[in-house]
Amino acid sequence: MPAPAALRERLQRPGLVVAPGVHDMVSLRMADEMGFDALYMTGFGTVASHLGLPDAGLATYTDMVGRVRQMAGMARTPLIADGDTGYGGLLNVQHTVQGYEAAGAQAIQLEDQEVPKKCGHTPGRRVVPLADMVRKIEVAVAARRSREFLIIARTDARSALGLDEALRRAEAYARAGADVLFVESPESEDEMRRIGRTAGALGVPLLANMVDGGRTPLLSRDALEELGYRIAIFPVTALLAAAQAMQAAYATLRQRGSSQGLSQPLLRFDEMTRLMGFAQVHEFERRWAEPD
């Protein structure tokens, strides 16, 4: 399978970029084999899998840039990485952008929430003044080493301040130099249509956040394209599927004391060892085996 195109190049061609969420190295390796145009390092899932904590501003830059480096270093597919608020003030934003780019991500998502931030589909989110976020975007654009590294500007203003304010911010962020716009948690297809019209008038690609069980309606590929979206991230789909499967498996083990008769389908063990690269280990051992 040929390597996917760089994300900026891919966005210049027609069709929706579907980016599944990856939250750990197993999900990264699995999704990387599937031929997606991009992968999305979900903050919610990465914080959950790495720290066992809620996505509520508890993870640090150091926590997250290490995950970016691991994932981007292994993936052939372009990685979009959640950078939260930039982990502080303007100097922190510069450091975060340069760190994520050096770690191998092809895009960073930065949001306009107050610190500590919260998951975008939970209540109680508050946003910083518009001018403060504009400066963050300007710093982010100036900080990157290459234009191939994309700055995704996210606004969480819809829930607290309404859609009109979210659209005003999206326009300001585009004018500040953002490469992609991300208006978080619209609550109807009509709202998504308005967002699409705004982004279309600005000539900036638009990202949809498809959170299973979240505040935004889940739409088909065709519907998202018709509304004007260019990227769709599915941050928790795989995480929720894996969690449901693990819950079922653990419940059976607790009740029966064995996995015999488990109704939950399992990936074959030989397929898991293949995914994790054991074939390369065995080949290495055959090549470099100690002579008798």
Tell which residue, 258, 208, 201, 262, has the closest CA to residue 235.
Answer: 208
Beta bridge partner(s), residue 103:
none
pLDDT tens digits in sequence order for the chain, 292 residues long: 556 779 999 999 999 999 999 999 999 999 999 999 999 999 999 999 999 999 888 899 999 999 999 999 999 999 999 999 999 999 999 999 999 999 999 999 999 998 877 776 666 689 999 999 999 999 999 999 999 999 999 999 998 899 999 999 999 999 999 999 999 999 999 999 999 999 989 999 999 999 999 899 999 999 999 999 999 999 999 999 999 999 999 999 999 999 998 888 999 999 999 999 999 999 998 999 877 6
Tens digits of per-residue pLDDT, 130-186? 999 999 999 999 999 999 999 999 999 998 899 999 999 999 999 999 999 999 999
Superfamily (CATH) of domain 7-242:
Phosphoenolpyruvate-binding domains (3.20.20.60)
Residue 180, both tokens: 């992609």
Domain positions in the chain are 7-242
Is the Cβ–Cβ distance between 162 and 155 less than 8 Å? no
Q: Which residue has the tokens 């999206």?
A: 170
